[in-house]
Structure 1
Amino acid sequence: MVKVAVLGASGGIGQPLSLLLKLNECVTELALYDIVNSPGVAADLGHINTPARVTGYLPADEGLKRALTNAHLIVIPAGVPRKPGMTRDDLFKINAGIVRDLATGIAQHASNAYVLIISNPVNSTVPIVVEVLKKHCVFNPKKIFGVTTLDVIRASTFSSEVSGADPCEVRVPVVGGHSGPTIVPLLSQISPPQSFSKEQIEKLTHRIQYGGDEVVKAKDGAGSATLSMAQAGARFAASILEATVKGKAGIIEPSYVCLEADKDRGAHLKSAVGGLEYFSHNIELGPEGIHKICEIGDITEYEKKLLETAIPELKLSIEKGAKTTITNCIYF
């Protein structure tokens, strides 16, 4: 039995994400939790002819506990979406409390689950979850992931529009964080190899960093990137399930993670990025979650400057999220 819980399942990301997870053959039980409408979403998805059984829970009657109990994988898209003129700081003020409460539920009822955090701002919400789990002495750094897959998907799509390559075949490493200037696309490491002019690199970099703004503007205040984010979240969830349920080796995905998940490579990367505790980069997944953090490799002078700009921004975001008192615990 493989139970997946979606926390925030009735929202703009949560509904299409839940649909895509219902179609995943690894999932045998899909538990949907939200403050409204989750039983209705569950009933709707339950009519789809795939084996996964779907249940919906509300806060009443210990709904969060019931949704989380025995979960193998938890995906958190809960929170308010970004609107025109809204900064990541504005989002933080609203979403921080939501994520903290959900993390407390996870610590109490599903401490061994793999946790995928979509709720923005990811640069801060991941440290919130980590600090809550540390307070409850159940923190396993190999099982906590900030979902930054959308940045890589955008990089593949946007660069292919310029080069004419098949976007399904293109991979661009994106490092740093998951907001504006903290997003650092390494176009020099694009695969298959492609050449771009300096002007093209600068334009592509800016578009990848601020791709979310395109959607917010195009939706004219009616929403943010929900469908593409749902697909990105489902892709990452599928990779986690392939590695942890099916035992498939060599799966590489980007994620914003706590660098102590890989003692050796994480320490080396931490030193290279100004002592940051969290960083987004390619990771290799394994049966226990994070098998290893990949090396950054050689980067251009332009990319080094982008990284230099990203580091202080990331530091501030991490400090903002990591306000929970750290207790002395023995970690996994």
Structure 2
Amino acid sequence: MKAGIGQPLSLLLKACPLVDHLSLYDVVNTPGVTADLSHISSVAKIDGFLPADDGMKKAFTGADIVVIPAGIPRKPGMTRDDLFKINAGIVQGLIEGVANYCPDAYVLVISNPVNSTVPIAAEVLTKAGKFNPKKLFGVTTLDVVRAETFVQAITGTKDPAQTVIPVIGGHSGETIVPLFSQAKPSVDIPKEKLDDLTKRVQFGGDEVVKAKDGAGSATLSMAYAGYRFAERVMQAAKGKSGVVESTFVYLPGVDGGDAIAKETGCQYFSVPVELGPQGAVKAHNIVGSANEYEKGLLQACYDGLKGNIEKGIDFVKNPPQKSEK
């Protein structure tokens, strides 16, 4: 596991009492990380694999949940398109492994750009005849966590997580739409602070990149968010009722999703989704309840999100040509 999201996420999952067995898979470092984590006195047994000797097959076979944080950060001189092609290819390969070795697993995609990698995953699984839209989730929980945290400065509540704030749309920039008007309990945000608060949720990642001064991005907070969503999926899988989390899903494949797809013009969208033992039970349509300010944000979201989704689908249907060496 590289020193990005994967290691802190693995630590959180190893410590989670809901996890019986944790298998790590990466192209480097997995044996060392596994040995380190194996000394933790928690319930989960742990093993780790590299690509050699059918490592992916061994790691994935029998898995109930696959969490994918894989990818590389953008390096100097690398365009966003270069980065997309690399990370899209990594996700594609891992999802092919899911299709081959654990097609019934819940699949939680953290790898950016989520707006495109989730459609990539769906296309790969569909080609393999293994796509269950009720078990494919794009993890957008960091946007929710940021909204909860940043609004605390206004509300003054002791525990920010006790304020439920739906964040819908996608998982980058203007595609992220926090619906503060639907917070529970309700929050009173001064009008002059709303723009800055909204932009901070949308572009919180930039804040971390700047603070780390080129040495990284939002890895620790993303690991926490990935863990929080995985924990909720596990709770629902084990029979806990009333579990609802915002997540990026293929709307036509989830009950209640068709109405949201019709209203937004997007096949993939993050909305609050009720989770159960079989995955996504129902997508909650809260789009129409947005206030006028939020409806303006949503229009910008739709415009950006549609292009992101198409880019992911096209990556699988029309693979980029490999350059000749």
TM-score (norm 1): 0.92
- Residue 303 of structure 2 corresponds to 312
Instruction: Tell whether the 8 Å contact from 1:117 to 1:145 is kept in structure 2 after alignment.
Output: yes
Tell me whether 295-304 or 105-114 shows the greater mean CA deviation. Answer: 295-304
For structure 2, list consecutive stretches of 5 or more residues without a partner in the other structure: 319-325
- Residue 19 of structure 1 corresponds to 11
Aligned partner of residue 65 in structure 1, secondary structure: helix
Q: Which of 141, 146, 153 is the aligned partner of 2:138? A: 146
Aligned partner of residue 210 in structure 2, secondary structure: helix
Whether 2:275 is the aligned partner of 1:285: answer yes
Give 1:287's aligned amino acid.
Answer: P
State, as a whole percentage, how many aligned pairs show the same letter.
Answer: 57
Whether 2:195 is the aligned partner of 1:202: answer yes
Whether 2:71 is the aligned partner of 1:107: answer no
How many residues matched? 315
The runs of at least 4 aligned residues of structure 1 exceeding 6 Å deviation read 83-87
Whether 2:249 is the aligned partner of 1:257: answer yes
Give the 3 Å change call, closer, same or farther, for CA 29–325 of structure 1 in structure 2.
same
- Residue 322 of structure 2 corresponds to none
Give the 3 Å change call, closer, same or farther, for CA 160–252 of structure 1 in structure 2.
same
- Residue 54 of structure 2 corresponds to 62
Whether 2:149 is the aligned partner of 1:157: answer yes
Instruction: Tell whether the 8 Å contact from 1:84 to 1:216 is kept in structure 2 after alignment.
Output: no
- Residue 227 of structure 1 corresponds to 220
d(CA) in 1 for partners of 2:169 and 2:83? Answer: 19
d(CA) in 2 for partners of 1:14 and 1:242? Answer: 21
Aligned CA RMSD, in angstroms, stands at 1.6
Give the 3 Å change call, closer, same or farther, for CA 115–46 of structure 1 in structure 2.
same
Q: Which of 167, 172, 179 is the aligned partner of 1:186? A: 179
Aligned-residue offset at 1:26: 1.6
Give the 3 Å change call, closer, same or farther, for CA 295–226 of structure 1 in structure 2.
same
Aligned-residue offset at 1:84: 8.3
Tell me the alpha carbon deviations over residues 167-199 of structure 1, each in whole angstroms, 9 at most, x when there is no partner. Answer: 131121100000000000001111211111222
For structure 1, list consecutive stretches of 5 or more residues without a partner in the other structure: 1-8, 327-332
Aligned-residue offset at 1:51: 1.9
Whether 2:272 is the aligned partner of 1:267: answer no
Aligned partner of residue 222 in structure 1, secondary structure: coil
d(CA) in 2 for partners of 1:252 and 1:266? Answer: 15
Tell me the alpha carbon deviations over residues 209-245 of structure 1, each in whole angstroms, 9 at most, x when there is no partner. Answer: 000000011001111000000000001111111111x
TM-score (norm 2): 0.94
d(CA) in 2 for partners of 1:221 and 1:123? Answer: 24
Give the 3 Å change call, closer, same or farther, for CA 260–161 of structure 1 in structure 2.
same
Q: Which of 28, 31, 34 is the aligned partner of 2:26? A: 34
- Residue 81 of structure 1 corresponds to 73
- Residue 37 of structure 2 corresponds to 45
Give 2:106's aligned amino acid.
Answer: Y
Q: Which of 192, 196, 204 is the aligned partner of 1:211? A: 204
d(CA) in 2 for partners of 1:23 and 1:57? Answer: 20
Aligned-residue offset at 1:89: 4.4
d(CA) in 1 for partners of 2:76 and 2:262? Answer: 37
Tell me the alpha carbon deviations over residues 29-74 of structure 1, each in whole angstroms, 9 at most, x when there is no partner. Answer: 1000000000110110000001211101001001011100000000
Aligned-residue offset at 1:152: 0.3
Aligned partner of residue 152 in structure 1, secondary structure: helix
Aligned partner of residue 60 in structure 1, secondary structure: coil
